[in-house]
Amino acid sequence: MIPHPTLHWNEILAAYADGEFEGRDDLAILKQRVEDWLARHPEAVQELAQLRQLKAAWQESTPDEPAPAAWQRIVQALAKSPNRATRPRRPWKRGAVVAAALAACVVAGVAIWSTRFRGAVEPAPAPVAVADDEPLPVAAAHEVEILRVEGADTQTLVVGALPVQGPLELAGPGEVTVTSVQPAVRDNMMPEVRTQGPGRPMIWARLDTD
């Protein structure tokens, strides 16, 4: 299991309760963090207990196994179903395929001949005009599942794949020159400016600005 960058703490706690961190060396640090968190937060311990209570209720209500006669009925039905992998070969099938291919070639040839030499090409249908403000349905309501809307996303809800996956590099190394650095108003601290390596200056552009 690889932690998702936008996971809620409760989701990580649920993964811990589900044993997803067990036997995973790569998640040992995360597991330790969860346990440290539990040691400091009684409400988290209560949350963990509720998760385990739900799991216990689920297991307690496990459906009983059906009677053997019910299984037997299904086995008999399965035995009657065709086994496509063992279906006998049909020697006539190859001939039929060849005949169909030849027929398709003849039809295509006639179509090309009639188009080139008769010159009677029907005009293409006129495109249907679509008003600029007419919505174009791309998915029905039941085909979209919104799992979470939070923060700035509430202003711009995006349904579907994002146009850009991962970081969008606006300028490369050497294309940015830092001409002046001002101390922060809040604490009067000067930022540390790195010009080399992965910590080089970054430009953040707000999409809603001019």
Task: Provide the binding-site residues for other proteins, judged by CB under 8 A.
Answer: 1-2, 4-8, 10-12, 14-15, 18, 20, 50-51, 53-55, 57-58, 60-67, 69-71, 73-75, 77-79, 81-86, 145, 147-148
Instruction: Tell me how far, at minimum, the Cβ of 145 lies from other proteins, in Å.
Output: 5
Instruction: Tell me how far, at minimum, the Cβ of 190 lies from other proteins, in Å.
Output: 38
Instruction: Tell me how far, at minimum, the Cβ of 48 lies from other proteins, in Å.
Output: 12
From the list 38, 59, 60, 39, the residue with the least C-alpha distance to 47 is 38
Instruction: Tell me how far, at minimum, the Cβ of 9 lies from other proteins, in Å.
Output: 10
Backbone angles phi, psi at 179, to 5 degrees: -90, -30
Instruction: Tell me how far, at minimum, the Cβ of 96 lies from other proteins, in Å.
Output: 21
Rounded-to-integer distance, Cα 181 and Cα 189, Å: 11
Closer to other proteins by Cβ: residue 43 or 133: 43
Closer to other proteins by Cβ: residue 64 or 208: 64
Closer to other proteins by Cβ: residue 71 or 113: 71
- Cβ-proximal residues to 34 (8 Å cutoff; 6+ apart), any chain: 12, 13, 16, 21
Closer to other proteins by Cβ: residue 145 or 175: 145
**Up-side HSE of residue 50: CA atoms within 13 Å toward CB?**
8
Counting every residue written for the chain, the total comes to: 210
H-assigned helices in 81-90: none
Closer to other proteins by Cβ: residue 53 or 115: 53
Chain centroid to CA 145: 11
